[in-house]
Amino acid sequence: MAVVVFAAHPDDEVLGAGGTIAKYIREGRNVIIVIFSHGEGSDPLLDPAYLTERRIKESKRATHVLGCKNVIFLGLADLQFRKQIDEPSTITKVKDILKKYKPNTIFTHAMDDPHPAHRAVTKLIKKLIKNIKPRPQIYTFMISSPFRFFEREKPRLYIDVTKTFKFKQKALKMFKSQRAWLSIYYKPLILLQNWLAGIKAGYKRAEVFYKW
């Protein structure tokens, strides 16, 4: 059975579930990563076409480090994300992915993530899986905030990523165009989360997900 990870931008999948992706692949599971936008709006000083090409290459290098060979880029425009994600063409693409791979497990952004693009992805996935039978298990990750503010009573899944944590760290280094954001905010935040989750679950490092 397949595992599909839906992420808004390149690097979201590594930040949120990189250790789990690496772990599942090494256990022989089929993991597919779907990235909605190239994130070409992340640096207004760079040409969007150049940044698109660069971020695709970085994402492919990162997923190669994790061991994932199946990466799908939907190509939504970063600055028009919330508009394009509701377009029929986008919905059809996501439906086709769900139909083709028939995942039994899905990982995606938390519904209360502060980033609007992250929430938009979650909203779409939640809408499209309503009529899927059997319904896949859905787990969400938070990467834009150190804590969840809503639905904290939801069941939690702790994945021991002690042995694959090094692959997550190495994969994050592939995103050189995002070095500033990752170094200042996202990477320290996520590594702290993984350390705290590990303490709570009794592992050296863990990734925590909330079940819908």
Across 40-44, 45-49, 195-199, the highest mean pLDDT is recorded for: 195-199
Name the token pair of 118.
Answer: 């992250």
More confident residue, 39 or 161: 161
The predicted pLDDT at position 47 comes to 77
Neighbours of 156 (CB within 10 A): 15
pLDDT over 90, % of the chain: 68
Contacts of 72 (CB under 8 A, 6+ apart): 32, 33, 34, 35, 97
pLDDT for position 42: 66
Of the candidates 198, 207, 178, 171, the one whose C-alpha atom is nearest the C-alpha of residue 67 is: 171
Taken in order 1, 69, 122, 149, the sign of the CA dihedral is positive
Mind giving me the DSSP string for 22-63?
A: HHHHHTT-EEEEEEEE--TTS-TTS-HHHHHHHHHHHHHHHH
Identify the CATH number of the domain in which residue 32 sits.
3.40.50.10320
Is the pLDDT at 9 greater than 80? The verdict is yes
pTM of the complete model: 0.93
pLDDT of 23 strictly over 80: yes
Q: Please tell me the distance from the alpha carbon of residue 141 to that of residue 28, in angstroms, as a whole number.
A: 22
Taken as a whole, the chain contains a residue count of 212
Number of domains in the chain: 1
Give CA–CA dist 130/136, Å, rounded: 10
pLDDT score recorded for residue 108: 98
* Residues 44-88 pLDDT 10s: 666 778 888 888 999 999 999 999 999 999 999 988 998 999 999
pLDDT greater than 70 at residue 191? yes
Query: Distance between alpha carbon 9 and the CA centroid of its chain, in Å?
Result: 8
Task: Find the domain containing 63 and state its range.
Answer: 2-211
